[in-house]
Homo-oligomer: A and B are copies of this chain.
Amino acid sequence: MKPSPRSTPLPWSGADLRSRERDWKRNAVILAAARAFATRGYHNTSLDDLAAALNVTKPTIYSYVDSKEELLFECFKQGVDQILAGFSEAETRGGNARERLMTVARHYAIAVTGDFGWCMVRLEEENLEKTMSAKIKTLKSDVDQGLRKLIRQGVADGSIRSCDAKMTAFTLAGALNWIAHWHRANDALSPEEIATRVLEIFELGLAPR
């Protein structure tokens, strides 16, 4: 029996629309926070500044997040999530392990040129309370372990020369994270070009001789 059309809510029913609109607005608050933290630093940014930047009242901010700390947590989380998405992309695109590692690294480099990537690298986790900080550490560790795994797979499938997977993962992540320290939004190179030039050295340095 065909289900009654009324049993499935319309994609833009009132409740759904309100929920999407709420998510959208909450994300706008988080993005504004990321930009304010990047400009003024976490300690020098108040929720009053944020409310002013968004042209809303402070109670409006509090309707989306409980605290400045929650905003910090979300900035970290979105940064790491963007990088983790590269691992799914690598699985979809396929290739040998070095090629998959490079897909992840390229995605990583581009994420780091963005607002949340900046936050993930530059903001201090010490400002998060323990539970939040532990969650971010776990996500970052997932990235690190994912890189190491691809490197070990590359050594196994012959696409990466024999190397210390942990040190190589740190070296790669360091070069990529560092983009957040020197990249400017108005850089002459696009994020894609930056990724290509930064990764060239790893392409050559990882290839078997």
What is the interface of chain A, defined by CB distance below 8 A to chain B?
Answer: 41, 43-44, 124, 126, 161, 163-164, 167-168, 170-179, 181-182, 189, 194, 197-198, 200-206, 209
Question: Is B43 a contact partner of A198 (Cβ separation < 8 A)?
Answer: no
> Main secondary structure on chain A at its contact with chain B?
helix
**Nearest residue in B to A168 (C-beta to C-beta)?**
B201
Distance between A40 CB and nearest chain B CB, rounded to angstroms: 8
Interchain CB contact (< 8 A) of A179 among B174, B176, B198: B174
- On whether the beta carbons of A124 and B41 are closer than 8 Å, the reply is yes
Residues in B with CB closer than 8 Å to A178 are: 170-171, 173-175, 177-178
The closest CB in chain B to the CB of A122 belongs to B124
A160 CB to closest chain B CB (Å) equals 10
